[in-house]
Amino acid sequence: MTTAHVPAVPTTAPATARAVSTAAERSVWPASTTEPRPGELAVGGVALTEIADRFGTPVYVLDEHEVRDRCRTYRDAFPDADVLYAAKAFLCRAMIHWIDEEGLGLDVCSAGELELAVTAGFPPERIVLHGNAKSPHDLATALRLGVGRIVIDSPSEIARLAAAVGPGGRQRVMVRVVPGVAAGGHEKIRTGTDDQKFGLSIADGYAQHAIARILDQPQLVLTGLHCHLGSQITEVKPYLSAVRRMVGLMSRLHRQHGLVLPELDLGGGHGIAYRPGEPALDLTALARRVRAELTSACASAGLPVPRLIVEPGRAVVGPAGVAVYHVLAVKRTGGRTFVAVDGGMSDNPRPALYGVRYAPRLVGRPGSATLAPATVVGRHCEAGDVVAADVPLPDDVRPGDLLAVPVAGAYHLSMASAYNMVGRPPVTAVRDGRARLLVRRESLDDLRGRDVGL
């Protein structure tokens, strides 16, 4: 994947002022990141201080070239596969256009994501609809707009979808299978085992039963199997295990029904580094070894090799984003230093949800040469509102300073809330020395406009 040219804050403290040259540090910033003068950072040729002055804080900064480069990296690694961007990571109209122009498909989870994509001009036949509990509105919207495939996640969807399609219609579908492979960075983001809400299990026969029912519905055209193991997976081995189990199921279906499925979707969950030195999934190794495993497994089963589908989200947009905050207060108490910023869990709930750790950096001035451990906290009325715990920052950090948090492109705005009636931040795009607004800041007028109680 693309690497960056400027570091995050080092992970050891106390220490002297940070260097700016190690590969581990560069890896968590967009590739366009430069340091035009000591302490200043620019992304896409635009200083982060300039973006903070122009758009206010908190603000998300998204490097358009980084997003596009990562799309191309996936296309190059999987030239004979369909690469679908997982919209849940981050979606707006500009992102939809970038994905379309770079030749990727789209994976959506709701009528809202689907409507936004199609009304922005994305071809509906290149969209796949997921969801463990699709509403009637979700299904009706998918059929109305002509979505390419619908992934069936539960037995009850089969009859409902067939009825919605009607006797004269046809809809291509896949079945989400639970392969019984445990993978992912946290128990809350592991989805490949039988003890969670997604999919239909191979082990208890529910997947096979659902497939038999689908084959009895002439309105539904089964094109393949789907699985998703979890998120933040940094090793190739779980995907190889999934390939073997999925091909094993395809072989049984062939024996029982004479069925040859042309597609196999391995989902996404490709892990990235959030802090210097953390592992990330080797995309080149993943593509090479999955292709070899799939070819070998199909040859052993006497099956043609299905077309592979992968669904990266975080790995496309996560490293392209930076969140910028103003420091509001610095408090030293109980032997700890708390640095409070003007955002927090309303614009990034991930640390509170599943313990994600970040590497914030002081920007706009060099800061002290001495680094000391500090906990960056948000402004909200929750003890768990922590942006980054025990990270090294200059020991002279003070109110009015700017902190930048790299790897902020995925699951920030998409999971943001209006907690404490603090509006969600804007999203800006940077490219070739220019910044432009993609999504405006949510205002108090926006929040008041939804309140119709008087």
Alpha-carbon distance 405 to 359, whole Å? 6
Would you report the helix, strand and coil content of the chain in percent, each value rounded to 5? Answer: 35, 25, 45
Prior bond to 425 cis, omega within 30?
A: no
Instruction: Detail the DSSP E strand segments found in 95-254.
Output: 105-108, 127-129, 149-152, 171-178, 200-201, 220-226
C-alpha to C-alpha distance for 70 and 315, rounded to whole angstroms: 8
Query: Does residue 331 contact residue 338 with C-beta atoms inside 8 Å?
Result: yes
Whether residue 381 lies in the annotated active site: yes
> In angstroms, rounded to a whole number, what is the distance separating the alpha carbons of residues 82 and 141?
23
Which neighbouring-strand residues pair with 221? 172
* Counts for the chain of helices (H) and strands (E), in that order: 13, 20
Residue 169 tokens read as: 């219609």
In 3D space, the residue among 416, 418, 356, 423 whose CA is nearest the CA of residue 386 turns out to be 356
- Residue 154: DSSP 8-state: S
Residue 216 is inside which H or E element, if any?
Answer: none
> 403, 411 in Cβ contact below 8 A?
no
- Measured between alpha carbons, how far is residue 228 from residues 86, 248, 284, 358 in Å? 12, 16, 19, 25
Beta-carbon count within 10 A of 94 CB = 18
319 sits in which H/E element: none
Q: Which residues on neighbouring strands pair with residue 78, listed in sequence order? A: none
SS3 341: strand
Q: Which of 270, 412, 312 is nearest to 353 (CA)?
A: 412
* Cis status of the peptide bond prior to 10, with omega within 30 of 0: no
| Site of tokens 């366009």 | 32
SS in 3 state form for 262-293? Answer: CEEECCCCECCCCCCCCCCCCHHHHHHHHHHH
Residue for token digits 């390419």? 148
In Å, the largest CA–CA distance within the chain is 73
Q: Would you name the residues annotated as active-site residues?
A: 381
